[in-house]
A and B are shown apart, each in its own frame.
Chain A
Amino acid sequence: MGRWEVMVGNKAIAYAAKLARVQFISAYPITPQTSVVEYLAEMVASGELDAEFVNVEGELTAQTAALGASAAGARAFTATSGPGLLYMHHPMHATSGGRFPVVMAVIHRSVKGMQPDHSDMMAQRDTGWIMLECENSQELLDTGIMAFKIAEDERVRLPTIFAGDGYILSYTAEPVEIPSQEDVDAFLPPYRSSYPLLPGLAEEARRVQMEQWGIGQDPQLRWRRQQEAMEAAKMVIMEVNEEFYKWFGRRYGNGLVEEYRCDDVEAFIVAMGTIASTARTAIDRLQAKGRRIGLVKLKSFRPFPSEEFRRLGAMVRAIGVIDRNISLGSGGITFQEIRSSLYDLEERPRILGFHAGLSGKEVRVGDIEMICEKTLRAAKGEGPPSLVEWI
């Protein structure tokens, strides 16, 4: 049995790493991530957690050292925010390219300003990491534990981010159930690398190394293998989500997306992170007034659940997508990817895009109600077939 404690999101993240019995932590401060590594430092100092705790001199080293520890066969963890994540960008490609199952917590901070949006993680979109988004502190703790199981699965072997909005989660206290160590140990066995960097494994290490370099083979092969691992990860994420439910009684939709009150609706909105929590209230209010609109929370940004959106898109007449990000010169990133996923449908729903919450701009329930009303109007065939708005 677990126990309950009122804690901030950053402490929930630290508990996830502790319960996963991480063996290596690279730590570097950046607001609003800093207290994650402070909590872990205290856990190591008190003997609660037995791990290598390395105070590094920058995020680039934090990432590269975690990569090295993972290559040696240890379970490695690090955490960062915003500009720190940008500084890690370069070695993040090496971590995924080497297929090292490092797990990292990202506490979102905008790349423009201190407040949260998803621009920091979206700038890592193509680094080959699995990216799982969380909406509250309980989900951070649970997803953190699941992240190790997903990353280390032999079918996957990809580094994994679990993320939550800075400030809104990092420094806000709420009740969180901490699973017991015994249950987590049973759910998540110790990490045993199949390819530790060790003498005696020279030939195998060289083979893996050559594959990473793309030497002696189709140079594209390593890209293809990584993409295949990403595809395989969809199934693994769903399996792990179900297994977690069996052990701990909590799950997050099917692991990829979570439907909230989507039965018998004519439209739904899509949101990631804490905006999804606000959206639940908006949906409740509107459904109480008889509006037929639901919410789909996007949990797995990478791999992107295109199949799920095709399935869900076939059931409605309009979708409103909220993006706490923008690809400047192009548009909302999840809007575009969902829109692209719907292309193969015989009858496509209308799709609207909304930019909201960038650089921490507050997103109120009323804002989301307005987004819902616009989406419902589109479902009735009113207005243009597609639209992008700033909230």
Chain B
Amino acid sequence: MSRPIPLHELGDKEYIDPANQACQGCGGAIVSRLVSKALGEGFVRAEVACCGPAFMNIRAPSIYVEVFEGAGALMTGISRGLKRIGREDVVVMGIIGDGGTVDIGFQGLSAAAERNENILWVCYDNEAYMNTGGQKSGATTLYAATTTTPIGEYSRGKLERRKNVPLLMAMQGAPYVATASVAFPEDLLGKLIHAKGIKGFRYIHVSSPCPTGWGYDPKDTIKVARGMVQSGLWPLYEVSDGILRLNYKPRELKPVREVLKMQGRFRHLNDEEIDRIQREVDTFWRRLVAKDGGEIF
């Protein structure tokens, strides 16, 4: 299991250039900064289509291929190739968006997990196809308004629940699976450094709020991300060898209403809809707490 690591313990060196093309307040850019600091010199980065190329300016060997669905395959190949040239010491990591992870890239993700490829998959989850203007993905929260689930007389936003891909990966038996949030950098850094030391398939799914797509003031990215965790909309947990542990376990969760109302994408929600989200969050949280410290199956 991981141990939280404060940012200052990793020194002053930054691997991401100060300037990049990400939007103001981009959660994904924060993920990139923290991932590169945690992994340091010894990694290579794989990238497929997503917002990622906007914050690709990490001083590490990187490869970008315009094969949106190919992250699992690309990292598989790099990892096996490096093994063949005697460089298994190099961490093969991808910072992949939620579309490239839970939707179009899911087949390759699942197969890479099945083969237990020696790769570190970091999904930065902004809950929609934000690079193309904010279309619904399999990671979009229930009722959220996106450009393809707009609010109108006949539409209340996204009508499906989000896919729970971290648990799917855990059920596939991946050696290490974790969720994380940009609002809890010590937790994320601890998980990255823990994952770095493990061989095999590692999956870290990071909640990365997007001011552009979610409709809030860019200065509030951390506030929104924190609210997601504190309300149970995005619980922080990790699964190591089939044992689940909750990493953030308040005595009482905050109501989801507060953090939902901070975001334009949920502005249309009525009480009934908020209640449904609250009920689902409560149920999932209750089940997670019951599993805390024990086997997931």
Contacts and interface: CB of A to CB of B under 8 A. Distances in A.
A72 interface: yes
B161 interface: no
Interface of A: 23-24, 26, 51-52, 54-58, 60-74, 76, 90-91, 93-94, 97-98, 196-199, 201-202, 205-206, 209, 212-213
Nearest to B89: A199
Given A24-B81, A196-B85, A61 B76 contact: yes
Contact of B84 (A56, A62, A74, A198): A74
A205 B44 CA distance: 10
B80 A64 contact: no
B81 A69 contact: yes
A71 B78 contact: yes
Given A57-B107, A71-B78, A197-B44, A94 B67 contact: yes
B134 interface: no
Contacts of B80: 24, 52, 54, 65, 68-69, 72, 74
Given A26-B77, A72-B77, A61 B72 contact: yes
Which residue among B77, B79, B81, B111 has the maximum number of chain A CB atoms within 10 Å of its CB? B77
Interface in B3-49: 41-44, 46
Contacts of A74: 80-81, 84-85
B111 A199 contact: no
Contacts of A57: 107-108, 110-111, 114
B175 to A, nearest CB: 18
Nearest to A92: B67
A24 B65 CA distance: 19
B85 A61 contact: no
Given A64-B77, A69-B78, A91 B70 contact: yes
B108 A198 contact: no
Interface stretch (B55-63, B146-154, B217-225): B55-63
B216 interface: no
Contacts of A68: 46, 63, 73-81
Given A56-B73, A64-B74, A67-B65, A199 B60 contact: yes
Given A54-B115, A60-B108, A68-B76, 9 more contacts: A66-B77, A67-B74, A71-B77, A72-B77, A91-B70, A197-B44, A197-B62, A199-B61, A209-B62
A213 B67 contact: no
B271 interface: no
Contacts of B72: 61
Interface of B: 41-44, 46, 59-67, 69-70, 72-85, 87, 90, 107-108, 110-111, 114-115
A60 B81 CA distance: 18
B78 A56 contact: no
Which residue among A62, A197, A205 has the maximum number of chain B CB atoms within 10 Å of its CB? A197
B58 to A, nearest CB: 9
Contact of B67 (A23, A73, A90, A197): A90
B44 A198 contact: yes
Which residue among B41, B64, B72, B78 has the maximum number of chain A CB atoms within 10 Å of its CB? B78
Contacts of B61: 197-199, 201-202, 205-206
Contacts of A94: 65-67, 70
B15 to A, nearest CB: 10
12 contacts: A56-B76, A60-B70, A61-B107, A64-B108, A65-B80, A71-B81, A76-B77, A97-B66, A199-B43, A199-B61, A202-B61, A206-B61
8 cross-chain pairs, A with B, having the tightest CB-CB distances, nearest first = A68-B77, A72-B81, A64-B73, A69-B81, A74-B81, A65-B77, A61-B73, A57-B111
Contact of A73 (B74, B81, B107): B81
A201 B75 CA distance: 18
Nearest to A58: B107
Given A57-B107, A60-B69, A74-B85, A67 B77 contact: yes
